[in-house]
A = this chain, B = another copy of it.
Amino acid sequence: MILQEGFVCKHYTFVEKGCFKMYGIDEKGTEHNLGFAAENDWVADLGSFYSGKPSKLFIEAIEPSTILQIEHQDLLYLYVNSPKFDRNFRVIVEEKFIELQNRLLQNFSSNAEQRYLDFLAQYAALASRLPNTQIASYLGITPEFLSKIRKNISLK
């Protein structure tokens, strides 16, 4: 667990090996996965990281993992002293932004079955290493319903 609700996100984390989930918990106690971060991916609650305010999110390993972390002040130092870091982190967040936007559009336009198929198509490697409970949380449905969807797909 590298970030808990109520704490400030102190680090931008690079995943060298393993896999993390970032999620929020709603008032009913249900977890909602905002995303996963596996090898060579970055993860942080940017809102909390840059503002210094307490996070509403959790970031937690779902596999044994090794990571590299940079603190806020050190990253700022790099930003100021070496423009390449602005460049690289711009590109990283742009890519994540594009992903997130596609996902939001999918959420509006499709039911859970289609979203599951889209997820499988887009993140095949990730899907095969994640338990269905985590995928269900990502899709915004219960594990039981995901099971129904899977059955339904297999019948086609």
Interface residues of A (CB under 8 A from B): 24, 26-27, 30, 32, 34, 46-47, 50, 56-57, 79, 83, 86-87, 89-90, 93-94, 96-98, 100-105, 107-110, 140
Contact = CB atoms under 8 A, between A and B. Distances in A.
A59 to B, nearest CB: 13
A109 B24 contact: yes
Contact of A97 (B32, B86, B96): B96
Contact of A46 (B26, B50, B56, B94): B94
Given A46-B94, A83-B86, 10 more contacts: A24-B105, A26-B109, A26-B110, A27-B109, A32-B109, A46-B101, A50-B94, A93-B97, A100-B100, A104-B104
A47 B105 contact: no
A105 B58 CA distance: 12
Contacts of A110: 26
A90 to B, nearest CB: 4
A67 to B, nearest CB: 20
A47 B98 contact: yes
Complex A-B, nearest 5 residue pairs according to Cβ-Cβ distance, in ascending order: A83-B83, A90-B90, A26-B109, A86-B86, A32-B108
A105 B140 CA distance: 10
A105 B96 CA distance: 15
A24 B105 CA distance: 7
Contact of A100 (B87, B90, B94, B101): B101
